[in-house]
Structure 1
C-alpha cells in the first residue's frame, strides 16, 4: 500500500490514463484495479479541489487497439481524448500468443511487432498527452545491449527512437545490462528489481525454508548475474557461490559461442538449500545444467528464481528435471506472457508484480520519490523477520 499521506499532500502531474496494449491487457487490468483501490483510500477533504478533477475513477484504462489490414499493415488508435493526461503505455514485447493474418497466413506477434504497435500508440498520442511514459517490463532488444565486432546496437537505437518520439520516461525491470540507459542520459530511465516479490513468493511456497548460512546459499548461474546474487546474499545474510561459463570461442552456433562447461566457485553445498538467481529463462538449458551440478555437489532443495520466464523450448526439460529431483521450485514473475500450461506445473510459482507496478505508476503520477521502491531492503528484512517467527 502506498503512503496515503504523501498522495494526499502532493498534486498529480496530470490526470492519469493507462494504455495497456493487447499483449499486456491482463496485467494492465490488475494494475488498474490496484490504483483504483489506492485512490479510494484518499480522504474526501483532500480531493475537493478542482485540481483533483478525475482523480478517483473506477477505471484508468483507455481503449488502444492496433487493427491490421489484410496485408499485415496496422495502425494505432486511441478510443478517447488523452489531451493533457499523464499517459502510461504498458507493453509486453514477449507475448507470442497473439496472432495476425498476412495474406491469409497466420503470424505470431514477435517483439518487433509489439514494438511497432507501441510506436503507433505513441504516435496517436503525441502532441496531445501532457506526458508519455512507457512501462516495458522486458526491455525491447535488451539482450543486444553491446556491440561485438560488426553488429547492430538494437537496444540503444530503440531507446533513442522512443525519446525522439516524445517519450519522457521509460520504466523497465531487471534490464539485461542497465548501462544501456547511457544511450539516453538526459531522459528518465528506471530499472526495477523484483527482489521483494521473489522472497515473498518463495516464503509462501516453502514455509519451512530456513534462512541462515548453515541451511541456505544463493547461486549466480554466470558472472552476469553476480550483482543479483550479491544483493540477495547480503540482504538474507547467507553465503553465495557462482558458476562461470567456459565457452568454445573457436565455434559459432546460432550466433553465439557454445558453452563447453559450467565451473563452480564457492563453498561446500552439502545439505544446503540453494536459490539460483537470474534475469531470465530463455531455453533454460544453462539454468537446468547449473541446477543439476549443484544437486550433484550435494545440495538439498533447488529453487530457481528468474524475472522473465520465456521458456522458448517449452517445459519438457523442466518436467524431466523436476521428476529427477534436480529442481524443486521455479519462481518467475507475470511481467511477461506465461502460457496456461505453466500454471499446471507442480513446481511452478508466480511472483505477482501488478501491485508493485501500480505503486510505481501512482507514485510517478504524483512526482513522488521512488527510492524506497528501487531499494526494497527494509521490506525484505521485515518479511524475513515475520517468516522466522
Structure 2
C-alpha cells in the first residue's frame, strides 16, 4: 500500500476498523478521540499526516448516532488543517439517510443536510454501503462510492440455506434489490405491500406472489425495531412458507428488536457488521453475521491506487 496512506477511526466501530487495517496490512493511525468534561467531542491527531491519503472509518450509526457524526466531522476538520492530501470518509452505515425527501409538510431532508456537513468539513470522497436510497449520492458534490452487500449475501444463501427459495421484498422500494438477488439465484420473487400509519408502524400487509412450500428469504437494507420484519415473517408462514430467513445489510436492532426476534418464527436474521452488534447477537442465537471488512478494505485499496471499484461487484450485478 505504500507509506502515503493513513487509516484513522473514531469510536463508532473500532473492531471493524481494526479488521480493515489487518486486511490491508497497515497499522492503525494514531488519533485520540474522546470528550471534554462538558460533553463536547475532543480530537487530536497524534502523528504527521501531511500530504497523505487519509481514510476515516466511521459509521454514523446507533447507539450514539450524533456523537459518531460529530467525531467524523471534527476528525475531518483536524485532518484537513494538518495538510492531508486527500480525505476519504468510509461510512459503512450512513446515518440520517431515511429522511431523503420531503414527503410531508415541514419535514427536513436530513440526508442532504448531512451531505452538506460532510463537504463543509473538508472531506473529498465518501465510501459507504447500501444507502437507504440511491438518490442520496446526488446530494453530494463530491464522489460517492456506494458499495453493495449483495455478493456476500448471495454467497451466504448458496452455502448456508438449502431448499426451494423465494426472494421477498418487504416493500416496493426494495424490489430492485430483491430482483437482483432472485435473478442470481434463479429463484422466484414476491413482494410485500405495506400500509404505514407512521414510521416503524405498519397498519396492513398484502403479499404479491407465491411462497407456499418454499423457503422465504426477506432481503432489505435495514432492520431497525424488527416490528415489521416479524409481522412479515408471520404472514409468510401463514401463507405456507416452510421457513423464513431475513438477510439485511444494516442491523440497527433498536428498542425491543432482540426480544421480538427471539419470540418470532424467523429462522435466522443475517446481518453484516456495518454496525457493531456483538452484545445483541449474544442475546439472540438467530442473529448471524457476514463480515464485510474485506469489501471495505478492497475499496480503500482500489481508491488509493486509482483502480475501478465497480468491478468489485461485476459478478453479482
Q: TM-score range by the shorter chain?
A: over 0.9
Task: Write out aligned runs for 1:354-369 (5 A).
Answer: 354-369=293-308
Structure of greater Rg: 1
**Could you tell me which of 201, 206, 227 is aligned with 1:285?**
227
Distance in 2, Cα, partners of 1:150 & 1:340: 37
Distance in 1, Cα, partners of 2:311 & 2:282: 31
Distance in 1, Cα, partners of 2:255 & 2:34: 30
Equivalent in the alignment of 1:300? 242
Shift of 1:65: 2.1
Is 2:71 the partner of 1:117?
A: yes
Equivalent in the alignment of 2:91? 136
**Could you tell me which of 130, 138, 154 is aligned with 2:110?**
154
Distance in 2, Cα, partners of 1:277 & 1:122: 34
Task: Write out aligned runs for 1:90-105 (5 A).
Answer: 90-96=57-63
Equivalent in the alignment of 1:68? 35
**Could you tell me which of 171, 177, 183 is aligned with 2:127?**
171
- Over 3 Å counting, the alpha-carbon distance change for 1:204 and 1:349 in structure 2 is farther
Distance in 2, Cα, partners of 1:264 & 1:115: 38
Distance in 2, Cα, partners of 1:129 & 1:247: 46
User: What is the aligned-residue RMSD (CA, Å)?
Assistant: 1.8
Equivalent in the alignment of 1:82? 49
Shift of 1:204: 4.1
CA contact (8 A) 2:111 2:136 kept: yes
Shift of 1:300: 1.2
Shift of 1:83: 0.6
SS at structure 1 position matched to 2:45:
coil
Q: Which has the higher contact order (CA 8 A, sep 6+)?
A: 1
TM-score of the aligned structures, taking structure 1 as reference length: 0.77
Distance in 1, Cα, partners of 2:179 & 2:23: 32
Is 2:205 the partner of 1:262?
A: yes
User: Relative to total residues, which structure has the larger strand share, 1 or 2?
Assistant: 2
Distance in 2, Cα, partners of 1:177 & 1:162: 18
Distance in 2, Cα, partners of 1:182 & 1:166: 18
Aligned length: 314
**Could you tell me which of 366, 372, 379 is aligned with 2:311?**
372
**Could you tell me which of 284, 296, 301 is aligned with 1:345?**
284
CA contact (8 A) 2:168 2:217 kept: yes
Is 2:218 the partner of 1:276?
A: yes
Is 2:231 the partner of 1:242?
A: no
Equivalent in the alignment of 1:103? none
Is 2:147 the partner of 1:195?
A: no
Which runs of 5 or more structure 2 residues have no equivalent in the other structure? none
CA contact (8 A) 1:22 1:65 kept: no
- Over 3 Å counting, the alpha-carbon distance change for 1:333 and 1:373 in structure 2 is same
